[in-house]
Every structure is written in C-alpha cells, then in structure tokens.
Structure 1
Amino acid sequence: MGKQSVMLVLEGTYPFNGGGVSTWAHLLCSQVSNVNFKLYSINANFETTPKYDLSPNITQVVQVPLWTPDEPYDYISYGDEYYKTVGKKEWTTNEIVEREFVPVFSKLLHLIYDDNLEVEHLDEVFRALWLYFEDYDYKETMRSEPVWKAYREIMSQYIVRDYNPDAALIDITIGLRWIYRFLIPLAITDVPKCDIAHLTLSGFPVIPALIAHYKYGTKIMLTEHGVFIRERLLALNNSEYPFFLKRLLIRFSEAIARLAYYKSEAIVSVNKFNIKWEKMYGADPKKISIIYNGIDSDKFKPKPKPDHLKNVPTVVAAARIFELKDVITMIRSCAVVQKSIPDIQYLIYGDDRAVPEYTDTCLHLIDELGIKKNFKLMGPRSDSHNIFPEGDLSILTSISEGFPYTVIESMSCGVPVVSTDVGGVKEALDENSGFLCKPKNAQEIGDRVIELLQNHELRSKMATHARQRVLDHFTISKFIRQYEDVYEQLLNEHLVENQPVEIF
C-alpha cells in the first residue's frame, strides 16, 4: 500500500507564485516524508509554469483560475467525460434551476446576512450545492434568470434592513459577479481523492476541501498564516467600495471563515496572535495547536557583505510590493534615515509588478521625497539566502503578517531586523534580535534603523543572538517533524489536542 495523500489547497501562492506561504508550502511538500501531496491551486488567472521545482512527493497539480474571461474548464480538463459536460449544459434548464437550485441559493444568501448564523446550516447548504453541481452546469445555472431574480429580491430585503438607500444597480450586479467567482470551485466536482484536505487559509478555498469531505469522507485541516478574515477587513477598510459591496464581502467572508473553522478537525496556527481571531469566529480551542515556521539554517547563514556594499550603510528587505507590506511607510522611513545618513541604501527585493498601481504610487513617492538614489526596487530574486547578508540590517513594515519567513531568514543570516509589531513577529523577533515598531510609524522605524546603523556593538550583539535564536527554536527539522505528527494523528483518526504554547 502506498503513502496516504494530502490535498494542499492554496490560493494565489504555491506553486505558481512566490511569497511566505509558498516558501512554507515548498518546504512542506519537499521534506515531509509520511504522505504524498496533491496541489489544488486557485489563482486569479491561468498559470502555465510553476515557479518552483516540484518535489517527487507531489503527485498531482490541479489549477482553478477564478477571474479569467472564460470558465476554468475552458482551459483545463478536470476529468469529466465530454458527454457529461455537454449533458450538464443541456439538463440545466430554467425550470430545473428554479426548482432545484434557487431554494438552496436563497438559503445561502439569507445565511450570509444572518446575525445568528448556525454554521451547521451553512454546511448543509454547501453539501446541497455540491450535489446539485454534480448533475448540472455551473455557468448556465449562475447566469440564469431565476438566479438573478432571487438574488435581486433577497438583496433588496437586506438593503432596506441595513438602511442602505444608496445601493446602486451596478453595485448589486457586481455583488452577484463576486459570488459567481468565489463559488467557481463548486463547478469542479471531480476533486482529487485524498485522505486529508489541508487548507492554507480560512477562506473560500474551503470549497474543494468540502467537496472532498462530502464525496470521500476526507478529513479537513487548516494552517492559518495571516488570518483571512482579519486581512479581508483591513483591505476593505482601505478600499473605496460602496457600503453594499463592503457589507456583502464582509458578511460572506465571515460566514466562510466560521465554516472553515467548524469543518477543520485540526487547526494549526503559525503564531499565538492568530488564536484570538480564530476563537472569535468559532474555532474550538481544543482543535488548535501552534507550529512555528522553520528554515534551513545551513542555507540561511552569516556571510560577509558583498565587496560593493562593504562600506555602504545598507538596509535590505524581501517583500512583494503591495498594500499589506506597506512599502509606503518603508519609503518614508528611508527619508527619515537619509537626513542623518545621506548615503543610506534601501534594497527591496520582491515582485514589483504584481500590483502595478501600488508600485507606481511607491515610485512617485520615492521621486517626491528625493530619495531615488537611496531607495531601490530591485525586483524578484530566487536566491533569498543571499539577500539578507547584503544588509547591515533588514526591514519589514507590514500591517499584517502571520509568522514571516523574512524575519527568521534574516535572523538566521545574523542580520538584525527592524519590523512592525504585527501578527506573530514578536514571537520570533525578541528584544535582543532587533526592534519592534508601531505599524505605519515611519519616524519610529527610521529612528531605529539609524540607531542600529550607528551602533556597531549593538548590531553585532543582536546578530549573534538572532542566529542562535533560530538554531534553538525555528529549524526546518522541528517544523517538518511537527507536521508529520499532525498528519499521523489525523490519519489515525485522532483529533489534534490543544498543545501548550512555548514561551521563550
């Protein structure tokens, strides 16, 4: 008998995109030895080439693009025979939709807006939706007149209830388009058969895990990195969406988060910070354990600075250029530092074309502050273990994090860190390894950078301590062993019990 299988469900990350979750997933899939992996990768667009060399432990990759002009099955075959695909379309008449689908869809909408949501009922609705789409076509159903009429009628009730007279027709239409996209995984009912469906966020990617559970009795587990609902709320708070759309997205996201926690038999958090959010949305504390991220300390190790930077005060960062990394504050901190250290260099490595509008805003601010010679977007780089030794210190200015690899990678390289105090950063970065600052406080961040750059003795002490802290607590061997134990417990039909949190 071969190894049992884990379907790792991802969104916008591994194996087609980089980032912390992708680093975590690549380590997991490459080094866990007691299971094989199947990847279920949900992406905005259809991706053709993985960014990683995939381990032999990965036996299958399923990709589902959500926001392409055509449907996922127009790009990819998901295993249905041609006659069944054609038959589903022919069988999906308005009469069928009205009789079989609209009652379930209507219940879903009411549950989204239910202030006293009973998550068991939401589970029943998703099971019914899965059974329906086993026989009928997703696109024909969701774009049918009966669905639009039901949606319009129900949304009108909640617009009145929430006293939202400014809700425009275009907003209501966009709302249904969003629901259409979020639920697209329901169209792919032929999910890989697996023993465990391992979610990487408590959001809409729960849908393929639910299908596997309903269809095969698959167990569901969740690893929480940055808390999905918290990051959704942060993003919406900074958005310009009208009230109707914000409320719809919040209510739907909250309902889905509750369902993900309810259906997961094991919830692994990468830090202590996440646990209060998980409990707030109904997670059973007995299901929760903590596994801190780990790295290869033989790869991420102290090295001399490159010759061309040896006498240049240098700050490095590994960060995708988008809103949650708050690169704007990082730029402003550079302007603070430049007043005291004119030859300061900030070298920022990461994808700078993922959100072009945000990158353009950053470039405009760099130009406006007159620091084009000091602050440089270096683009993506694959050899991350060589990034941090370029700097005298590293920087992270995020407004939300889970347990960031960039912090422990920098520490492992013997490079102190100046970071915002968000998520689980303080659980990695103690006072002897770097500085924690308030989010969005460019002055404080800049002052700490200046302090470290001008105090060689302090910087050296922090470098030594940071390296040792990683060796003591955040090695890859410990990380892998703990995940192998969780898989083993689930496969042996034991719930993961609440484990004591390590306090350093």
Structure 2
Amino acid sequence: MHDPRGARRSDATRVTLLTEGTYPHSHGGVSVWCDQLVTGMPDVAFDVIAVTGTGHEPVVWELPSHVTGVRSVPMWGAPPEGEPPKGRARRQLARAYERFLTALLDPCAEDDFAPGLYTMARAAEEGTLSPFLRGDRAVSVLASVWNRPGLQVREARPTLHDALTATALLEHALRPLTAPLPTDGVTHAVSGGVAVLPGLAARERHGVPLLLTEHGVYLRERYLGYRTAPYRWPVKAVVLGFFRLLAEETYRRAALITPGNRYNRLWEEQGGAAPEAIRTVYNGVDPAAFPPAGPEPETLTMSWAGRVDPIKDLETLIRAFALVRAQLPHVRLRLFGGTPRGGEAYRERCEALAAELGHADAVTFEGRVDDIKDAYAAGTIVMLSSISEGFPFTLIEAMSCGRATVSTDVGGVREAVGDMGLVVPPRDPAAMAAAALELLGDPVRRAAMGEGARLRVIEQFTLRRTIDTFRDIYQELPRTGGVPAPEPVWRPEPARSLAI
C-alpha cells in the first residue's frame, strides 16, 4: 500500500508550480510545457514559486488571469533578510546542521538528512537560516564534521577555503526554503532539485500533496555538471551528497511522480520511489500547431533547435557536421535557439570549433526564431545531439512537422522516435555523421520517415492527452489525501507501418 506521506485532505483545485530557471522567466522546453499546462487549464488556479538567478529576471511569458501569483526566489542575488539565531536557538540549529552535514558525508548517517532538512526549513521560515549559514559557526561545524576519523572525505585533506566554498554553495542551494509555503491544493515541482524544497516543506508543515514531474534526471545532470566544476573533491562531496539525498527524500515523499519517459523511472525507483507512486506521462504537442513543414530547403541542411548549452553537446554535432561535409561539400548546419545568460563562453567555444575545423562558413547560429516551426522547416533533416534529455519537445515537434530526425540515445528519445527516426549513441560524431549521411542521401526514405513520424505523434503524443491526464491528477491528489489512484493500464498504439 502506498504511504500517504502525511498529506491532508483538501477540496481546493489550486496548484503551486515549483520551477527552477524556467517558467515564467525564460524560454525552453520545460517552460513551453509549463505554459501549455497552465493555458490548457483555465479552470485551475495556479501560483508559481520560481527559483531564479538574481531575482531581476523579467517575466517573458504572457500569464493568463488564473495565474494568481508569481514569487521569484533568487539563488544568487542579495541574501534573504533576517537575523542569525541566538542562544539556545543557535545551539539547536548548529546541532541540526551538524547532523545534516554528517548525513551528506557518512553513509551510515543518511537517516539524519530529512530531520536536519526540516529543522532548517523552520529556521528559514523564521529568517535565521541564511544568516546562520553565512556566519563563522556554520563553517566551523563543517570543518569539524569532515575531519572526523573514518570519513573518506578526510583523506582529501579539506581546507578552510573548501569549507567556506561548500558552506556558501549550501546556503545558496537552501534559499528556496525562504519562500512562503502553500497551505492547500497541490504543489507541482516541474523538476527535481532545489525547486522541490518549498514543496517538501509544505508537505511536512501543512500536509500539502507534492507532485513531481522530471523531464530530465536532475541528479544525473548535477553529476555531469560537477565533473568539470572548479571545486576540490571535498566541496563536490558535500554538494553532490546534498543533491543525492534531496533526490531520495523527494522520491520518498512525493504523493505522485510523473516522469516524462520510462528511462527516468529507472532512476526514480533506484532513488527510493515506490513503483506504485510513479505514473509515466509523456509530453504532447498540438499537431495542428505543428503541421507538415512543406518542401525541403533547396540546399541540403542539418537543422537543430534548442538552447545553446553544454548539455546539448553542440560540439559533437559540429564535429559530425564536419564529417558529413567531407562527403557532401554543399551541406549546411543551422542552429536555432538563444544563448542563456552565462552561456556565452560555450557558444564562443562552439563557434571557435567550427572555425578550427574549417567550416565557419557553413555553420550558422541563428539565435531565437519567432516561430519554432521555421527552424524545423529549414532543415532537410533535424538533429538532436544532447547528452541528457527527458522527452524532448523539439524532437516531437519536428516529428509532427514531418521531418526525419537523427537523435542521440538519451532519456526518452527512443520512446518518442520508435522506428520513425534514427538514434545514435551520444558523444559519437562518427555515428551521428553516418546516420545523417544515410538520410541526406535518400530522399524517398526521408519522406516516408517524416510521414510516419507525424502519424506517430498524432496517435500517441498529443497535448490534449497530456493536459487531461494532469487535470485528473490535480483533482485526485487533494481528494485522496495524496494517495494516487492505481495507474491506468494504457499501452501506446503501434505506429502505422510504412515501407522505409
């Protein structure tokens, strides 16, 4: 029997979206998904708690009237207001923080993570957590914990600078706990990680059911990102320990987890989620909004759409393009999408790589496009080169537009494509180039694959199905006290067979 996780009953149809770096302050696939969900349910009252960078980010989406409030929680702006605790309160918080840190570093003490986290959540609500973590006491607690005999991290000889760095990173990561907590309805975290913190605190404090949707695997992406982060191992041990135990606590406490693909489900079950608390809900598009793209461009073109970010691995795509161009000198690569703030260096690195390989004249960074359909129509084939994805919108949108695709085998890509596109290993330019050459050289196969891809979207991945599923969940969780109904048995219909 699935544990109700302490959620109380409520008849309110109110949803608090919990986001990080996405809706409503930036564009991208997850933001598109949030906008579709919100605009598709005018009968539901939405609030948004958005974890942002500095707090000065503008709202870039037009919000409908049933979005009743947006609260920005900056992670890197001015610190939260408040005063450090004193006397007994200071000693109690220091003890809770010590247990919390021990859980991050000692596998035998991981059960102390949740009690420590919720004690700190109370301190954040009182305005004392951030001032405490910015003080000397917090640094000395960490220095004491990770120098205990028997802890593996001690062997790396952590320094005072390491302690200052790790404490500062934790202080920033815990800032979402300062957001006013919802007291009714449902909290819906649209990713794992720090965005979930207000939802966990609201579940613990007020019994509000927590719904988690993971598009990518947040923990996996943190592991990938910290491989090259400029920190020593003791700092990484603390921060990655925090993200791992936060993911496990989220998986245990969520009333329902709705991954966008079955690949994510494996991570969630491994992280402690009960199988009966997981229900796969695929992303969907409106086929009428993404009609067939029409004639192919006159020049053979590889098109890509997304945000310019290392996780999209444009370097592999550019290297693959160089191999393709060695066989087809007139082919072009067009990259559509904005560069997020802070990502300028990555774009410059990609541009430099294209120049270094001698193809700067044929690789164009187009920036944001007013109508994303134009990005798909611009390609003879559409590419996806990511090293991590959930169930990518750009892929099913391109499929709906009737374009043949070459994609990396990450996340839910195979579930989306089926046999109506080519799938290659990530970080493999030669395999990507071979697949692209296969399609670029065979117009009959391209056309058949594009037609089959659109039919697959119409039959299995429509926006209406996605919205109706989440409306039912929003109504169900408060009514059942956070215990989800059994997952309906639903198997996607096979795509119609076409000769390819």
- TM-score, reference length from structure 2: 0.91
Q: Report deviation, 1:93.
A: 4.7
* Partners of 1:398 and 1:501 in 2: CA distance: 29
Q: Report deviation, 1:429.
A: 0.6
Matched, 1:45 2:32: no
Matched, 1:495 2:484: yes
Q: Report deviation, 1:94.
A: 4.2
Q: Look up the SS of the partner of 1:176 in the other structure.
A: helix
Counterpart of 2:186 in structure 1 is: 196
* Partners of 1:22 and 1:11 in 2: CA distance: 10
Counterpart of 1:476 in structure 2 is: 463
Map Cα deviations across residues 64-102 of structure 1 (whole Å, 9 max, x no partner).
Answer: 11012x1255xxxxxxxxxxxxxx53xx45424532311
* Partners of 2:425 and 2:127 in 1: CA distance: 52
Counterpart of 2:497 in structure 1 is: none
Map Cα deviations across residues 191-215 of structure 1 (whole Å, 9 max, x no partner).
Answer: 3444101111221222111232234
Q: Look up the SS of the partner of 1:164 in the other structure.
A: helix
Matched, 1:149 2:140: yes
Q: Which amino acid is 1:502 matched to?
A: R
Q: Look up the SS of the partner of 1:289 in the other structure.
A: coil
Q: Look up the SS of the partner of 1:133 in the other structure.
A: helix
Q: Report deviation, 1:353.
A: 4.7
Q: Which amino acid is 1:485 matched to?
A: D
Contact 1:314 1:392 in 2 (8 A): yes
Q: Look up the SS of the partner of 1:157 in the other structure.
A: coil
Contact 2:51 2:73 in 1 (8 A): yes
Map Cα deviations across residues 95-146 of structure 1 (whole Å, 9 max, x no partner).
Answer: 2453231111111111222314555x43332332233333343333222332
Counterpart of 1:107 in structure 2 is: 99
Q: Which amino acid is 1:335 matched to?
A: A
Q: Report deviation, 1:258.
A: 0.6
Contact 1:197 1:218 in 2 (8 A): yes
Q: Which amino acid is 1:177 matched to?
A: A
Counterpart of 1:164 in structure 2 is: 155
Counterpart of 2:7 in structure 1 is: none
Q: For residues 43-82 of structure 1, what are the structure 2 equivalents within 5 Å?
A: 43-68=52-77, 70-72=78-80
Counterpart of 1:273 in structure 2 is: 263
Q: For residues 225-244 of structure 1, what are the structure 2 equivalents within 5 Å?
A: 225-244=215-234
Contact 2:259 2:278 in 1 (8 A): yes
Contact 2:399 2:457 in 1 (8 A): yes
Q: Which amino acid is 1:111 matched to?
A: A
Q: Report deviation, 1:478.
A: 0.6
* Partners of 2:252 and 2:149 in 1: CA distance: 26
Counterpart of 2:431 in structure 1 is: 444
Counterpart of 2:5 in structure 1 is: none
* Partners of 1:30 and 1:246 in 2: CA distance: 40
Q: For residues 48-447 of structure 1, what are the structure 2 equivalents within 5 Å?
A: 48-68=57-77, 70-72=78-80, 89=83, 92-116=84-108, 119=111, 121-157=112-148, 161-188=152-179, 190-305=180-295, 310-354=297-341, 355-431=343-419, 433-447=420-434
The change in CA–CA distance for 1:424 and 1:111 in structure 2 (over 3 A counts) is same
Q: Which amino acid is 1:103 matched to?
A: R
Q: Which amino acid is 1:107 matched to?
A: R
* Partners of 1:246 and 1:66 in 2: CA distance: 19
* Partners of 2:465 and 2:241 in 1: CA distance: 38
Counterpart of 2:4 in structure 1 is: none
Matched, 1:7 2:19: no
* Partners of 1:333 and 1:53 in 2: CA distance: 38
Contact 1:33 1:484 in 2 (8 A): no
The change in CA–CA distance for 1:315 and 1:15 in structure 2 (over 3 A counts) is same
Contact 1:421 1:436 in 2 (8 A): yes
Q: Which amino acid is 1:472 matched to?
A: E
Contact 2:20 2:194 in 1 (8 A): no
Unaligned runs of 5+ in 2: 1-9, 495-500
Contact 1:64 1:72 in 2 (8 A): no
Q: Where in structure 1 do 4 or more consecutive aligned residues deviate above 4 Å?
A: 116-119
